[in-house]
Structure formats: C-alpha cells, structure tokens
Amino acid sequence: MSLTRVNDDLAFASSIIDRVDSVTLRHFQTEDFSAQTKEGLSPATGVGREAERIIKAMLGRSRSRDAIYGEEHGGILLRSARRWIIDPIDGTKNFVRGVPVWGTLLALEEEGEIVVGIVSAPSLGRRWWAAKGVGAFTGKSWVGARRLLVSEVSDLAEASMSYSSLKGWADRGQLRAFLRLAQRVWRSRAYGDFWSFMLVAEGAVDLACEPELELFDMAALVPIVTEAGGSFTSLHGEPGPWGGCALATNGALHPEVLEILGSIRDEDAVGEGAPSLSASAARSQSGHN
C-alpha cells in the first residue's frame, strides 16, 4: 500500500461525498417524511438508496475492479483485495424526525484492513476523514482542516462517555455492566450514532460504545479514531469493525473499559452478553496510549 494511492483514494472518496451531500441535504431540508408510510420500509429508504446508487455509479466508473458493500443494496460480504463499504444515511431515525445528526459513511478496505474513512454530516456542516499513515482531520473542506487528536484523560472518574440507547444493552444481556461503567465515569451522554465516535476522535469525549452494529456502521469510523491516536475494538477486544459491536476510546482507558464491560452478565436480560476478557488480554488490545 503506497501513501500516494491512499491519498488518491481519499481525495476520490471526498469527491463522492460532495455529490451525495448535495442530494441528501436537499431531501432533508425539503421533504415531509411524516407523510411517507410505505409498509416495511424506513421513511429514509428512498433517499438512502438514491445516495448509494450515486456512490456505486461513481465507484463503478473510476474503481471498477474494487468490490462494493452497502447497506441499502447489499453486496457480497467477502473480504476481497479492495472493497468499498457504504452507509448512505447513518442515523435514519434522526433524519426523518428533522434532527440534524445524520451522515454518510464511506470506507475503503484493503487486504482486510480499513485504510480510508470519511464521515460527512452536511446538516451540521461537518466532515471527518482519515487514511492510514496520513492522520485524521475535520473541517468543512480540505482547506483549513484541523488535525484530530484524542484526549489524554487516563482516569475513568474524569472521563466523558457517549452511547446511543439503553435498550440494546439490555437485549444483549449487558445492561448491568453498562450501568456499572456509566457510574464510573464523570459524565455520560447519548450523542449517538457516528457522532459519538467522532467526538472521541476530536478529544471532546473519551469513550464511546455500542452493543450491536453492522460493518457499514463502523468501517469508516475506525481509521478516523485510530489515526487520531485512539483505539477501536469490539466490546470483547477484537480490533477493527469485525465484531458486531464497538468500543472506541482514547487508548489509555481501553483496557479498564473492556474489563468492566466483560465482567458482569445481566441474568435477567435476554442474550448471552459479550465474553469476559482478562486484564492481560485487555491490555494487549489497548492500541495507542
């Protein structure tokens, strides 16, 4: 993998997102989704499919040999040499309720590793991006972009945590562990979806965790968090977006958080919960400090 190629891919991905943002933002600002009642479909399904078609068309013209996997139209879920992973609208419930915290996520996987990630939230006027070995940045455009760095907080009692909702933790059988973690931190807020993880990369939040996510929910987040100096694993310590759940921290907090989340099983909840992780195993997954 050459840095020149990675930079080319990042610039190309940014041009794709520019096109998609113009479409999704227009729909968000002009459509009344409360009037759409197609049975079995999210109110934002049509917008998501349109956005994904744009992305796939642009990739097909310029990256025809690359595989593509997307939320709306699917794809073959295999790790080929190069694969683009698409979430056309992350935060669809926010989108349809008029809440501006939604975005488009685009990532490039190469030889089983996510090497490029872009998250764009046009309603917020924000964009975050990263490439392996290049760093992570945020801004409205390349001009004047600010480099991202995670926080240096090393004590959970001084840490800020973000998540999405409590129900998922209960369904997974980890509500007690999550509440124990929430009681250990300084503050917890449900910023939710991609924003939780971007706030970790910015250093505004120290950790974010979710009990159940799809590959397309996470792929673009990984290089942004890790290139900012943080750690991104599953709740049981598997690096990257492959474990069906996510924990992102500034790195320093990662071993302790993994241990807390793996330490208690909620006997009254449905589900088996995440496997317990020893302190030594957790330390081996801590990443950057």
- With respect to residue 271, please indicate whether it lies within any of the assigned structural domains: no
- 60 and 137 together in one domain: yes
- 190 and 245 together in one domain: yes
Residue 161 · residue 153 · CB < 8 Å: no
Phi, psi dihedral angles at 193 (to 5 degrees): 50, -150
Residue 36: predicted pLDDT: 53
More confident site: 274 or 167: 167
CATH number at residue 195: 3.40.190.80
CATH number at residue 32: 3.30.540.10
- Tokens 């929910």 -> residue: 217
- 131 and 167 together in one domain: no
- 16 and 123 together in one domain: yes
- 40 and 121 together in one domain: yes
- With respect to residue 269, please indicate whether it lies within any of the assigned structural domains: no
- With respect to residue 282, please indicate whether it lies within any of the assigned structural domains: no
- With respect to residue 279, please indicate whether it lies within any of the assigned structural domains: no
Beta strands 146-147 and 160-162: pairing type? unpaired
Strand order in the sheet with 82-90: 67-70, 82-90, 103-110, 113-121, 126-131, 135-138, 146-147
Task: Provide the domain count of the chain.
Answer: 2
Give the three-class secondary structure for 287: coil
- 134 and 161 together in one domain: no
Residue 77 CB partners (closer than 8 Å, separation 6+): 69, 215
pLDDT tens profile 39-86: 555 656 789 999 999 999 999 999 999 999 987 656 554 456 899 999
Residue 37 clears pLDDT 80, i.e. is over it: no
Residue positions in the annotated binding site for Mg(2+)?
71, 87, 89-90, 217
- Tokens 């794709």 -> residue: 16
pLDDT tens profile 119-170: 999 999 999 999 999 999 999 877 789 999 999 999 999 999 999 989 989 9
> Per 3-state DSSP, what percentage of the chain is helix, strand, and coil (rounded to 5)?
40, 20, 40
Residue positions in the annotated binding site?
71, 87, 89-90, 217
Last residue of a domain, one of 104, 119, 147: 147
- 116 and 161 together in one domain: no
- 141 and 165 together in one domain: no
Residue 81: predicted pLDDT: 87
Q: Could you tell me the pTM of the whole model?
A: 0.86
- 9 and 134 together in one domain: yes
Phi, psi dihedral angles at 284 (to 5 degrees): -70, -20
Domain of residue 100, residue span: 3-147
